[in-house]
Amino acid sequence: MSRLLLAPMEGLLDDVLRDVLTRVGGYDLAVSEFIRVSGTLLPQRSFVRVCPELARSGRTRAGTPLVVQLLGSDPNCLADNAGQLSRLAPAGIDLNFGCPAAKVNRHGGGATLLADPEQLFRIASSVRRAVPAGMPFSAKMRLGVRDTSRTLECARALADGGVDSLVVHARTRAEGYRPPAHWEWVARICEVVAQPVAANGDVWTIADYRRCRAVSGCRDVMLGRGAVADPFLARNIRRVMAGEDDDGEVDRSADWQELLPLLASYWQQVCAKVAPQHAPGRLKLWLAALRPNFAGAAALFLAIRPLRTVDEVNQRLWQHGVLAAAGDGRPPDAG
């Protein structure tokens, strides 16, 4: 059985957006944005702050299991924190060797560790000993730092270190998110490790999903930016794979109407979570991602782009039918 995984995306795909996307459906599990581990044992509240799902048996409100991702470079510190995290019973623990961000890599975390397969092995084997038997333990990696010269060595190091599964973002750190994703390299990794491998990168459509699986040879696929840009992608893939739909045109007007109350829920949760001055920016960020697929999102983005306050955004959301679709009381006073 093929699985669809919802990717972590630092700064965007947090617990609020996970809630919305998993309510649409189609995902077998989600992976949290990374929790940085740097020299100290984090209290349990630090994990719950990033992943409130841990207070709900490690699942989103829709019931999707959540794997919690750790980022760091010290084997012992990561192991100690993995042990601490395991007491909260997440659906799994994942290690980040894929983040390409310079601020992360400067401190020895994320994709920069792919230059040192021996360190990958030390980290994985140390964390493996701390993660209880029966709790899934995984890692996410890229193809390398600047090239693919050590790709297979890195994959073997993580496999030998004891991970149960791998997710591979099919680009190097230097390539960032520039297309194309090199799914053929994921196929090569599958040839040298016994563990299940999931492919990640550049899956925006059902056709992309089919090509990714064909080229990579993977049954499991992780969706990231494609899921944020099209909240219905996973559900539509499920329907096509089950033979319920063909690959024809998607009715985006119907999808937009279904998305309106989810946008309202997203906005309300963001307002409750972040400082008022930051809330409009979060909504703009998601609407910008939605624009290529939804004309309504493009119009709404243009309408709220110059706005700076929560009250101003509320006015526009009422005018565009977003808050009305959620049945959220009465519109604010236009005066």
212 is catalytic: no
The CATH number for 4-241, chosen from 3.20.20.70, 3.30.420.40, 1.10.760.10, 2.30.42.10, is 3.20.20.70
CA 69 to chain centre: 10
Residue 225 annotated as binding site:
yes
Average confidence score pLDDT of the chain: 94
Is 148 within 8 Å of 189 (Cβ atoms)? Answer: no
Residue pLDDT, tens place only, 228-264: 999 999 999 999 888 876 665 678 889 999 999 999 9
Average pLDDT over residues 191-210: 97
Residue pLDDT, tens place only, 119-146: 999 999 999 999 999 999 999 999 999 9
Please, which pLDDT band fits residue 6 given cuts at 50, 70 and 90?
A: very high
- Which of 179-183, 202-206, 247-251 shows the lowest per-residue confidence on average (mean pLDDT)? 247-251
First to last CA, the chain: 56
Average pLDDT over residues 138-161: 98
pLDDT at residue 108 in the model: 74
- Which of 116-120, 152-156, 159-163, 237-241 shows the lowest per-residue confidence on average (mean pLDDT)? 237-241
Residue 327 annotated as binding site:
no
Q: Can you tell me the distance from the alpha carbon of 135 to that of 129, in angstroms, rounded to the nearest whole number?
A: 11
Question: Cis bond leading into 180, ω under 30°?
Answer: yes
Average pLDDT over residues 102-121: 87
Residue 201 annotated as binding site:
yes
Question: 10 Å Cβ neighbour count for 131?
Answer: 20
Strand partners, 217: none
pLDDT at residue 101 in the model: 82
Residue 333, pLDDT > 60, answer no
**Which one from 99, 212, 218, 271 is the annotated catalytic residue?**
99
pLDDT at residue 215 in the model: 98
pLDDT at residue 51 in the model: 97
pTM of the model: 0.94
Q: Can you tell me the distance from the alpha carbon of 68 to that of 73, in angstroms, rounded to the nearest whole number?
A: 17
Residue pLDDT, tens place only, 46-105: 999 999 999 999 999 999 999 999 999 999 999 999 999 999 999 999 999 998 887 777
Place of tokens 């016994």: 194
Amino acid identity of 319?
Q
Average pLDDT over residues 324-333: 61
Residue pLDDT, tens place only, 8-37: 888 889 999 999 999 999 999 999 999 999
pLDDT at residue 137 in the model: 98
Residue 200 annotated as binding site:
yes
pLDDT at residue 299 in the model: 96
Q: Calculate what percentage of the chain has a pLDDT beyond 90.
A: 86
pLDDT at residue 335 in the model: 37
Residue 275's alpha-carbon distances to 270, 280, 309, in angstroms, are 9, 10, 11
Residue 320 annotated as binding site:
no
pLDDT at residue 332 in the model: 53
Q: Can you tell me the distance from the alpha carbon of 45 to that of 51, in angstroms, rounded to the nearest whole number?
A: 9
Question: Cα-flanking dihedrals φ and ψ of residue 29, to 5°?
Answer: -160, 160
Domain ranges (residues) in the chain: 4-241, 252-325
Strand partners, 70: 35, 95
Residue 140 annotated as binding site:
yes
3-state secondary structure of 147: coil
Question: Cα-flanking dihedrals φ and ψ of residue 163, to 5°?
Answer: -65, 150
Please, which pLDDT band fits residue 275 given cuts at 50, 70 and 90?
A: very high
Residue 291, pLDDT > 90, answer yes
